[in-house]
Amino acid sequence: MSTHDTAPGASTTTATGAARIQQHRRYLMCRPEHFTVSYTINPWMEPANPTDTALAVQQWQKLYDTYIELGHEVHLIDPIEGLPDMVYTANGGFVIDNVAYGAKFRFQERVPEGPAFMDWFRANGFEVAEPVEVNEGEGDFLLVGDTILAGTGFRSTGDSHRELAEVFGKEVVSLNLVDPRFYHLDTAISVLDPVEGPGGVERANIAYLPGAFDERSQAILAERYPDAIRVADADGAVFGLNSASDGLNVIISPRAKGFEAQLRERGYNPVLVDLSELLLGGGGIKCCTLELRR
């Protein structure tokens, strides 16, 4: 299969007549020049298993090249030696309307990343809101239409959800993660249509893994997103939901076969990019991709 089947700016129409329209994205990424697994802060990390930094860089480059080929804009933050998880830029903050809410990491190994990302935001013209509460950025905060879905249970605290609402003045919906394999919200939810469609009609929709959430959160998701794609555990377990969508093209793991078929059925164009080496650190496509909303 080719890297992607649909040209930038293109659209498709689903069987029900709904249009899937590609929208331009701005992303922040970090080359994994110092990638390794030297500590354990999630169930995926096994320091005893060898990692291949050159392969990690090669796979990351494929993701970067895919975004460029699809017509998106990618900015880079310089990697810092001793911070191997900086490649997972999604955790570095949460950005809406040129305001960057900074990250405050739970684990000491990642704490220095917070100031590094905030320095980058400032240097690149963003207004920075410094966090008081523990949060891990777009790993746990997802913008769906005009609503922010916010995860808690493993990394970001519930107090950060209140802080988030104060910073952005938007509705924040708290969701509780209960499966340690899916410790960030972006491992259990993929935002497929994050913005308004033609004529100002909101078409926000998601895909999610029901079993990653407690019963209350499952009920919230079912009520708010009745048309959501519900993904099987087999696809969630290969980080299939840790994906990036531009409204038409959805970049996913090639191992998420069921999710790939579900996306095609809904009129999306799955783009397969293998980040298996970076999964050894507990991160995938979305983890390596922070959206910069100007």
Active site residue 184: yes
Tell me the two tokens of residue 14: 């689903």
The active-site residue out of 30, 72, 184, 288 is 184
Distance of CA 107 to the CA centre of its chain: 19
**What is the identity of the amino acid at 255?**
R
- The single-letter DSSP state of residue 229 is E
Give the total residue count for the chain: 294
* Closest to 126 measured CA to CA, from 32, 28, 194: 28
* Closest to 23 measured CA to CA, from 207, 249, 292: 249
The tally of CA atoms less than 13 A away on the side-chain side of residue 202 is 11
Return all residues near 242 (Cβ < 8 A) that are at least 6 apart: 186, 187, 190, 253, 283, 284, 285, 286, 287
For the stretch 91-116, what's the b/e string if a residue is b when 16 or more beta carbons lie within 10 angstroms of its beta carbon?
bbbbbbeebbbbbbbbeebbeebbeb
CA distances (Å), 144 to each of 52, 202, 259, in order?
Answer: 35, 10, 20
237 exposure class (CB count in 10 Å sphere: 0-12, 13-18, 19+): middle
Q: Is 264 helix (H, G, I), strand (E, B) or coil?
A: helix
The active-site residue out of 30, 72, 161, 287 is 287
Contact 89, 290 (CB under 8 A): yes
Q: Which residues are known to be catalytic? A: 184, 287
